[in-house]
Amino acid sequence: MICLARAARNKLTLKSSVEELRLFFSKIQVVKKTSSREECPLQEDKSSLYFAGVEPRVAVVNKIDDEPFDEDFVYVKSLVLSDKVKLPNDVGFFIPCACTSKCDGCHEGSANYDSMGHIMVNRGVPVYECNRVCPCGSLCGNRIVQNGRKIPLEIFKTRSKGWGLRSTINIPKGTFVDEYVGEVIPQEDAEQRGKFYDMTGRTYLFDMDFHITDDNDETAQYTIDAYLMGNATCFINHSCDANLASYAVYSDSMDTSFHHIAFFTTRAIRAYEELCFDYEGLPGVKEVGKYAQKLTYEEGSFECKCNSIQCRKYIRM
């Protein structure tokens, strides 16, 4: 799940000082400026800012106020492993499909996608796409997430929630929108970074924790940190009535604790409608009539600003 409240759960110790905070963010800014010399710089045309080398287009617009977009934001197209993350690369652990083209239902006995590439798997069920040892090609229908985003996106300034994300075209239900990417770091680094990020009120940590259930005591081994580098998905805001859902997608690693996080639409979405998902990840929240059960404030929660009829008032993390 996305981690917006690590500091609330893990208070900074008295040893943590203003000087430590200053040094921490100074180091981050050096990394960001160094990383910004890459293949997707922010450029400008007559209509908007956009990221060069990114297709379909990802634009940046602000028609609300004069706040500039962060020019140091580093756009990356895929996950970037930190020096501390080493994944096994033994292809002997991969299970190939027996298909040569379409791959209809060859993994786990059922199809992940329909003929239009729309997700058919229920929320909470992992998606196993074809991998590097499968005999099928890149056009295989079971490589939707691997083959990347097909939807043009726009990062835009909202009236009350900072920057948000929307599509410039209509999107059918079940469509893959994009993958959450950034730097993959070990859990211990995520805990430390989260303490500092939450002091600024902004954090982009998303745990790879699909394999963790209420029945085990495990914690996520890896976390995606999109503070240093990321893509448009780190601007997706929360809504208690979300139109996106996140799925764990396995393809290039047999490590159950390492998976991709992909966003699919839960209903048809109109062009320029804001894209949102539920940060809390509680699809079974009890409803009373048309209204979701209202939550009361507790430590580690944030006031919700989604303003939907299903709003729970607070995001409980």
Rounded to 5 degrees, what angle do the CA atoms 225, 17, 85 make?
25
99 annotated as belonging to a binding site for a ligand? no
Neighbours of 201 (CB within 10 A): 9
3 annotated as belonging to a binding site for a ligand? no
106 annotated as belonging to a binding site for a ligand? no
Instruction: List the beta bridge partners of residue 206.
Output: 2, 224
Strands 222-225 and 2-3, bridge-based pairing: unpaired
If 0-12 CB within 10 Å is exposed, 13-18 middle and 19+ buried, where does residue 77 land? middle
234 annotated as belonging to a binding site for a ligand? no
304 annotated as belonging to a binding site for a ligand? yes
134 annotated as belonging to a binding site for a ligand? yes
One-letter amino acid identity for 78? Answer: S
CA distance 251 to 103: 14
Question: Which element (helix H / strand E) includes 132?
Answer: none
Here the tokens at position 250 are 């396995």
b/e sequence 3-19, b meaning 16+ C-beta within 10 Å = bbbbbeeeeeeeeeeee
Q: In angstroms, how far apart are the furthest CA atoms of the chain? A: 60
One-letter amino acid identity for 259? Answer: H
276 annotated as belonging to a binding site for a ligand? no
Annotated binding site: 97, 103, 130, 134, 136, 140, 240, 304, 306, 311
Annotated binding site for Zn(2+): 97, 103, 130, 134, 136, 140, 240, 304, 306, 311
